[in-house]
Amino acid sequence: AIVEADLLAAKPALDEAEAALSAITAKDIGMLKSLKKPPELIKRLFDCVLILFQEPLIPCEVEEVKRLQLCVSWDRASVVMSRASFLDELFNFNKDAINDETIEMLYPYDSAEDFTYGDAKKASGNVAGLCTWVKSMILYTWISKEVKPKIAK
């Protein structure tokens, strides 16, 4: 019964992630690609998508953009979001294949004060749903890490 309760705890987060993804349209992505200067927060958000997709990133370097932060791999993000299948890839993402190392690499992004749906929404509208998605992937992995071993027993 404890195991079921834990799994149920993940359900609202996953529902929320799905709803957030549904709000993103191909048009939103197209708009984002056309921006000469995309908001910094959105670039960081896309680094998180690259990490979850296990796509290449530039090596860690820091830059000062209002705050000291990791340089973002925006060129690579542009390639990934240009794929016709990009939104489908998000929807069909295999969340059970996420490992602890991936979550660890998301930490410098997720721990930033402005890494919230509200801030992302202000910066870029619907695409902010990606923030909800990233956060729910982190929560899901954490819960399933706690829950899966119990199921195995």
Partner 1 sequence: MTSCKEAIKDIEIDGKVAAEMEEVRLCPISNMKPLIVKMDNALSTLKKCRQLRMSSNAIAKIEGLAGCDSLVILSLARNNLKKIEGLNEISDSLEQLWLSYNQIGSFAGIEKLTNLQVLYASNNKIDKWPEVERLQGLPKLRELNLVNNPLYQKHDAEGNWRIEVIKRLEKLKNLDGSLIDDEERERAKAD
Residues near partner 1 (CB under 8 A) are 54-57, 59-62, 67-70, 94, 96-102, 104-105, 107-108, 111-112
Q: Indicate the angle between helix axes 100-110 and 40-53, nearest 10 degrees.
A: 180
Contacts with 99 (C-beta within 8 Å, 6 or more apart), sequence order: 141
Nearer to partner 1, 8 or 97 (CB): 97
Question: Shortest approach of partner 1 to residue 131 CB, angstroms?
Answer: 17
Question: Shortest approach of partner 1 to residue 78 CB, angstroms?
Answer: 18
| Nearest Cα residue to 115 out of 54, 56, 39 | 39
Question: Shortest approach of partner 1 to residue 104 CB, angstroms?
Answer: 5
Token pair 């890490």: residue: 145
Take residue 15 and report the two structure tokens written for it: 């529902």
Nearer to partner 1, 22 or 99 (CB): 99
Question: Shortest approach of partner 1 to residue 84 CB, angstroms?
Answer: 19
Nearer to partner 1, 88 or 104 (CB): 104
Nearer to partner 1, 84 or 113 (CB): 113
Contacts with 44 (C-beta within 8 Å, 6 or more apart), sequence order: 69, 70, 72, 109, 112, 115
| Nearest Cα residue to 80 out of 70, 88, 92, 69 | 88
